[in-house]
Structure 1
Amino acid sequence: MSTLTLEDVAVRYTKRGVSALAGYSDVILPGEWLGLIGPNGAGKSSLLKAIAGLVRSDGRLAVDGVVLDDLNDRSRAALVAYVAQDPLIPNDMTTREYVLLGRTPYIGYFGSPTRADHRVVDDVLERLRLGEFADRLLGELSGGERQRIVLARALAQQAPILLLDEPTSALDIGHQQQALELVAELRRTERITVISALHDLTLAGTYTDRLVMLHHGAVVAAGDAAEVLTADRLGKIYNVCVTVEVDVDELGNRQVVVVPRRGFPAP
């Protein structure tokens, strides 16, 4: 169980002179699932990359008080696992070999994977129903299958912080739900802390504990799904016409459903 603390985290791409993310501060508690939403270019991916150490950032990032920028790559990877939106996937590697790369932080520079490492990989492949692809080359698989395998590699990393950048964008609705349900299960059983960027607002509101809406690198709304996902706000930020409905199941759980409508909001 780990707490992620962010203090005035900012990202600026100097070559373009663009501020992608203004000073962002938050505390993500152990086992919490934070959803990042907002239109393209809002700063969601920049925030995730800053936490993963893939872009330079200002401010302070810490896991249980340990400052991430003070760690080497292996130590940071043992704390934070990252699933990119468009990962590079080698076509000539098998699924099992690729997922085994998630165990790299725990294997010495001249060491070899142990039986325990292989057991972790087999368990993840089984949970994601990828066992039949274990010995298949990645180049032979569909885009959706490859995206599930990228998620499997991150889960094999067994880091307490899991970052997901559009993890279901190439999946059909069945595999979207399967992948997110697995993350939800691991969040409950392993108490991993999840931060995900999602374009599907209904999925974002369904699976996360709270939402942060970003626009032009700044926070414009934060809270639970019913507070953040209002038709008026979505119309202004996304320039869309939607209705927002709240569905209550037999257990009393609320689900916020965003439904697109024909037409555009008035300027």
Structure 2
Amino acid sequence: MTKTTPRLRGEDLTLAYDERTIARDLDLEIPDGSFTVIVGPNACGKSTVLRALARMLKPTAGRVLLDGQHIHSLPSKEVARRLGLLPQTATAPDGITVADLVARGRFPHQKLLRQWSRDDERAVDAAMASTRVSELADRAVDELSGGQRQRVWIAMALAQETPILLLDEPTTYLDIAHQIEVLNLCAQLHEEQDRTMVAVLHDLNHATRYATHLVALKEGRVVAQGDPGEIVTARLVEEVFGLPCVVVPDPETGTPLVVPRARTSRLGRDSAHPAVHAAAHAPAARPAGGAA
């Protein structure tokens, strides 16, 4: 079977801020229709890579391709019709209502001689319904809880009606219940609307539970990528994060669950656990060029 070229990919990327190089010679492909999650330790380049894919950061070398075209050669509105971005720290104008903020997602579809249309109305209503914020339409965004605000921002991104949606740490500053709520919503949107989702997450267990394709970064390079169930091992976690652990099946989903090793005084008791024995014999992680 002939392998199709993904719509979004980076080739030989060198990414830098001023004089500081974050990544060099980085190749990354986002499988179409996947829920791709990028993980790695702090300052490894996760958000930098996402910003480059979203055209928010221009590579100092290499290129990002969107539908086979250099992303920086495309008009801004054209990119915004194909690719949506939820930034890490989104700020709403003071006093803006939920409906008005979500409606801003339609800006890429506006033209000089055609402003608001029935298509715009339909897209906004559908986006608010999908994220369950319709009943909040007349509320001021700054009056909402953190979880509600994040759903509103996702609704705005959905209103763009882009086939690809990038989310930079969408669960930051949320408590555990709202983190799961947002991630369940993202998974539902991926499954029901066949959107390609790309997210940066800090929590490795959230990543392994929700991702269909996982990318592990360290010091600006891809260490491993592929199906979380195939690449996530104790050896990979220790290599990427420096964390001794065992990896066992999540009792809810069967996906990899990373359990940090206990402190030394507990190891004698815990080492007899069968999961520890199994993890010690886990296969090595697939190299970065492995299956997508």
The answer to whether TM tops 0.5 is yes
For the residue of structure 1 that corresponds to 2:116, the secondary structure is coil
Q: Does 1:11 align with 2:24?
A: no
- Match in the other structure for 1:153: 156
Deviations, residues 178-201 of structure 1 (Å, cap 9, x unaligned) = 333333333234322111111111
Cα deviation for residue 262 of structure 1 reads 4.3
In 2, Cα distance between equivalents of 1:97 and 1:110: 21
- Match in the other structure for 1:257: 257
For the residue of structure 2 that corresponds to 1:96, the secondary structure is helix
In 2, Cα distance between equivalents of 1:132 and 1:63: 36
- Match in the other structure for 1:246: 249
With normalisation by structure 1, the TM-score equals 0.87
- Match in the other structure for 1:52: 54
Instruction: Tell me whether 234-243 or 41-50 shows the greater mean CA deviation.
Output: 234-243
The alpha-carbon distance between structure 1 residues 240 and 5, as it changes in their structure 2 partners (threshold 3 A), is closer
In 2, Cα distance between equivalents of 1:172 and 1:24: 33
The alpha-carbon distance between structure 1 residues 109 and 45, as it changes in their structure 2 partners (threshold 3 A), is farther
Q: CA RMSD in A?
A: 2.3
- Match in the other structure for 1:205: 208
In 1, Cα distance between equivalents of 2:173 and 2:152: 12
In 2, Cα distance between equivalents of 1:42 and 1:207: 21
In 2, Cα distance between equivalents of 1:254 and 1:22: 35
Contact 1:213 1:228 in 2 (8 A): no
In 2, Cα distance between equivalents of 1:80 and 1:23: 24
Cα deviation for residue 86 of structure 1 reads 1.1
How many residue pairs get matched?
A: 259
Any gaps of 5 or more consecutive residues in structure 2? Answer: 1-5, 265-292
In 2, Cα distance between equivalents of 1:247 and 1:87: 32
- Match in the other structure for 2:287: none
Moved over 6 A (4+): none
Cα deviation for residue 33 of structure 1 reads 1.9
Deviations, residues 128-186 of structure 1 (Å, cap 9, x unaligned) = 12122211111212222222211111111111111111112233444433333333333
The alpha-carbon distance between structure 1 residues 185 and 147, as it changes in their structure 2 partners (threshold 3 A), is closer
Instruction: Tell me whether 172-181 or 207-216 shows the greater mean CA deviation.
Output: 172-181
Contact 2:229 2:256 in 1 (8 A): yes
In 1, Cα distance between equivalents of 2:263 and 2:243: 8
Deviations, residues 110-138 of structure 1 (Å, cap 9, x unaligned) = 64221221221122212212122211111
Instruction: Tell me whether 97-106 or 207-216 shows the greater mean CA deviation.
Output: 207-216
- Match in the other structure for 1:229: 232
Q: Does 1:121 align with 2:124?
A: yes
- Match in the other structure for 2:32: 30
Higher relative contact order (CA 8 A, sep 6+): 1
Deviations, residues 41-73 of structure 1 (Å, cap 9, x unaligned) = 111111111111111113222222232111111
For the residue of structure 2 that corresponds to 1:169, the secondary structure is coil
- Match in the other structure for 1:88: 91
Cα deviation for residue 97 of structure 1 reads 0.6
Instruction: Tell me whether 172-181 or 151-160 shows the greater mean CA deviation.
Output: 172-181
Contact 1:93 1:138 in 2 (8 A): yes
Any gaps of 5 or more consecutive residues in structure 1? Answer: none
In 2, Cα distance between equivalents of 1:241 and 1:109: 58
Percent identity reads: 36
